[in-house]
């Protein structure tokens, strides 16, 4: 990234740890260079973990360089440059974490010169140039820095003290019991769900149903608790005709989906591709650094109003999606309030494509890019028009009901026609009924069982963290609750991974399940402050208020200090119990046992692979190509011969699994020339040649 900035600024001379030229020196950090001092840095008494030394409350918090030779070497370069320059331009990531990382480095380097801030949402050359033409005063982001400091200090105070407190009081055999401001309430939600499922008692029930004119109706009565009652009900129904009492068909609209923030992107990627939150963050970060999408660590689904004039240009550049953008570009792009709203955007807007053409992306990154590109196009499409039908009837004195739904005009749904519809959204076309009509019907008994609550998946857990445990489907309400969510979009994935590494939770298929250690730990914690997602959400809200300049950092520190003192006293005087972990090494270090070496790879069976585009069907082999069985809606195929070259099964497998082949000679271009190149799948999953 430093190289990209240096190129734009004309600082093209490579020096030792920086670029120089045109009056600029461009240097860099990598990851976190500084961290808050550890307990033993304040006093020797805190070197050992002893219950009597708790709570640990430093009089003032200090920072230090992390213990890494590469960091120390690069920091000395930064320190020297800062000491001899006229001005510093902070080009760190334009977010709370980026602000904190670079401010700490400049603080450690004893920067005395004026500081200005580069604040950009994408890394395209145009965005960088515009950013340098409108540099901002560093003081404008003092509140952002204060919020980052408050977050770090809060995590230190609670994490360091509570982890030592519970480990020395309840740990067994050197096991570390990790407690965190965000991870513990997250674990508590998972444990609570586990207990609800374990305590659930399955109940059998019977329902009366009947089929009239090839339409199934369900009785509008309480579920029956015995088969005997249900069978008596069927006897009653057989002796009476079905009569239609009401027929109501209403036309309605299904609103467009919102643009992605990081959490909703992680949710969607988990649902569609089973990607973990951490993997999705890794893929989107890579796409950002390749200049293909805008800044990803955001929690808004809106765009600022000044972006409206740029939308048409971005849509024009999304050439892999020309079949969808063509109709949009025939008229002016509407300035929709559901998309553009300055009141809903702070430092960054929703994640959108930059318009830079994607070339030779790895398959997983291509999937993430495809989600973002389709969503960006979909928000400007017409709404989906539907017809919802409700039919009421009766058999004797028992009332029945049936509902149906028909899509009249797919609107934005055309972008997702290749996807398998969820059962709740399946179209159910109803015949036209006349009120008062009667006729024979076929009654029957439906036997069912009540279902327990569902285990969390990463998708539903991310949503629960975002809304502090409240079950919210409405996007407007969810937007309002974001200030009280636990964790930040950029940290939630790491929190979930920490719980896995600590062996507090485990994954079975897509389900996240609490381990016995996780359950024991939550059962031991009596303090609701540590466990409650709602209370932790209130702390998050205070951190956001600090960011807005509406709450004092010192007040937040005092509140947490008091909480830690109260918690320490509570645990020291509480009942004693021991918690052990099945795999102490993994729990303490976060490292799992070494895996068995993998067996040698076998040839890939192409017809056993999922279609990489729709991810719904297994590929089939036709006369001239491999393709998706749902080709009419999905459109994916790879010809056996393309650009004058027959593909081997190995090359086809590479294309499906990796998104590209190795470099090959002999590709024939339309002008008759032959070239050496790779065959890649572009963003629309079509094969094309690329040198990358």
The answer to whether residues 153 and 61 touch, using CB atoms and an 8 Å cutoff, is yes
Residue 467 backbone dihedrals phi, psi, to 5 degrees: -110, 20
| DSSP letter for each residue of 58-93 | -SS--EEE-S-HHHHHHHHHHHHHHHH-S-EEE-S-
Pairing of strands 115-117, 88-90: parallel
Q: How far apart are CA 260 and CA 365, in angstroms?
A: 16
DSSP β-bridge partners for residue 664: 677
Q: How far apart are CA 236 and CA 216, in angstroms?
A: 18
Q: Find the DSSP H helices in 379-527.
A: 458-466, 475-481, 489-501, 516-524
The answer to whether residues 371 and 353 touch, using CB atoms and an 8 Å cutoff, is no
Q: Collapsing DSSP states into helix, strand and coil, what is residue 420?
A: coil
Q: Collapsing DSSP states into helix, strand and coil, what is residue 577?
A: coil
C-alpha 85, offset from chain centre: 41
Max distance between CA atoms of the chain, in angstroms, equals 98
CA-to-CA dists, residue 408 to 125, 252, 383, 384, 385, angstroms: 44, 10, 11, 8, 5
C-alpha 566, offset from chain centre: 35
| Size of the chain, expressed as the number of residues it contains | 692
Tokens 């004119």, located at residue: 213
Measured between alpha carbons, how far apart are the two ends of the chain, in Å? 19
The answer to whether residues 412 and 381 touch, using CB atoms and an 8 Å cutoff, is yes
- The token duo for 118 is 């580069």
| DSSP letter for each residue of 102-168 | HHHHHHHTT--S-EEE---S--SHHHHHHHHHT-EEGGGGHHHHHHHHHHHHHHHHHHHHHHHHHHH
Q: How far apart are CA 364 and CA 680, in angstroms?
A: 14
CA-to-CA dists, residue 507 to 175, 194, 265, 283, 382, angstroms: 22, 13, 21, 21, 40
Q: Which residues are identified as catalytic?
A: 295
Q: Exposed, middle or buried, 269 (CB in 10 Å: 0-12/13-18/19+)?
A: buried
**3-state SS string for 497-517:** HHHHHCCCEEEECCEEEECHH
């Amino acid at each position: 990234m430093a190289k990209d900035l240096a190129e734009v600024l004309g600082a093209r001379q490579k020096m030792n740890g920086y670029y120089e030229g045109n009056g600029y020196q461009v240097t860099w950090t990598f990851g976190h260079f500084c961290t808050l001092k550890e307990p033993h840095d304040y006093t020797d008494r805190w070197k050992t973990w002893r219950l009597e030394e708790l709570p640990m409350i430093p009089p003032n918090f200090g920072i230090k360089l992390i213990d890494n030779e590469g960091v120390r070497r690069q920091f000395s370069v930064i320190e020297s440059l800062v000491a001899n320059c006229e001005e510093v331009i902070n080009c760190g990531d334009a977010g709370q974490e980026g602000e904190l990382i670079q401010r700490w480095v400049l603080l450690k380097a004893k920067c005395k010169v004026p500081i200005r801030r580069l604040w950009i949402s994408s890394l395209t050359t145009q965005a960088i140039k515009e950013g340098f033409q409108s540099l901002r005063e560093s003081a404008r982001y003092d509140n952002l820095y204060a919020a980052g400091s408050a977050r770090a200090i809060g995590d230190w105070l609670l994490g360091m003290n509570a982890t030592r407190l519970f480990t020395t009081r309840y740990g067994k055999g050197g096991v570390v019991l990790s407690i965190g401001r965000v991870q513990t309430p997250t674990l508590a939600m998972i444990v609570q769900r586990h207990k609800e499922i374990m305590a659930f008692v399955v109940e059998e029930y019977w329902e009366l149903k009947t089929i009239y004119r090839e339409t199934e109706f369900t009785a509008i009565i309480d579920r029956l608790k015995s088969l005997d009652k249900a069978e008596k009900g069927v006897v009653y129904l057989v002796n009476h005709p079905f009569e239609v009492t009401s027929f109501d068909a209403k036309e309605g609209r299904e609103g467009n989906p919102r643009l992605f923030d990081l959490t909703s992107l992680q949710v969607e990627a988990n649902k569609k591709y089973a990607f973990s939150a951490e993997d999705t963050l890794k893929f989107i970060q890579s796409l950002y650094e390749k200049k293909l999408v805008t800044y990803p660590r955001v929690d808004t689904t809106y765009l600022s109003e000044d972006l409206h004039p740029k939308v048409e240009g971005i849509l024009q550049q999304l050439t892999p999606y020309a079949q969808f953008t063509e109709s949009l570009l025939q008229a002016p792009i509407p300035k929709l309030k559901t998309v553009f709203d300055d009141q809903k955007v702070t430092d960054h807007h929703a994640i959108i494509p930059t318009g830079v053409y994607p070339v030779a992306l790895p398959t997983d990154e291509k999937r993430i890019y495809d989600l973002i590109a389709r969503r960006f196009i979909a928000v400007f499409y017409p709404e989906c028009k539907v017809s919802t039908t409700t039919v009421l009837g009766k058999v004797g004195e028992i009332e029945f009901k049936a509902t149906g739904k028909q899509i009249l005009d797919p609107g934005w749904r055309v972008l997702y026609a290749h996807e398998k519809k969820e059962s709740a959204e399946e179209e159910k076309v109803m015949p036209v009924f006349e009120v008062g009509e009667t006729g024979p019907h076929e009654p029957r008994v439906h036997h069912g069982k009540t279902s327990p609550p569902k285990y969390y998946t990463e998708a539903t857990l991310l949503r629960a963290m975002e809304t502090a445990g409240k079950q919210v489907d409405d996007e407007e309400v969810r937007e309002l609750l974001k200030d009280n969510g636990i964790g930040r979009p950029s940290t939630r994935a790491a929190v979930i991974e920490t719980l896995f590494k600590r062996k507090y939770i485990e994954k079975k298929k897509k389900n996240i399940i609490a381990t016995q250690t996780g359950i024991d730990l939550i059962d031991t914690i009596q303090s609701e402050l540590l466990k409650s997602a709602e209370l932790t959400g209130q702390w998050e809200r205070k951190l956001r208020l600090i960011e807005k300049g509406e709450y004092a950092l010192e007040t937040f520190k005092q509140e947490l200090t008091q909480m830690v003192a109260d918690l320490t006293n509570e645990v020291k005087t509480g009942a004693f119990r021991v918690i052990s972990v099945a795999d102490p090494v993994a729990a303490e270090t976060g490292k799992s046992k070494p895996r068995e070496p993998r067996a040698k790879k076998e040839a890939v069976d192409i017809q056993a692979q999922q279609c990489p585009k729709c991810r719904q069907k297994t590929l089939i082999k036709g006369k001239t190509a491999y393709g998706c069985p749902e080709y009419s809606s999905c459109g994916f195929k790879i010809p056996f011969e393309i650009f004058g070259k027959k593909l081997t099964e190995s090359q086809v497998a590479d294309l499906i699994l990796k998104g590209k082949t190795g470099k090959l000679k002999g590709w024939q271009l339309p002008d008759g020339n032959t070239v050496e190149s790779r065959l890649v799948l572009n963003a629309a999953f079509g094969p094309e040649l690329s040198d990358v």
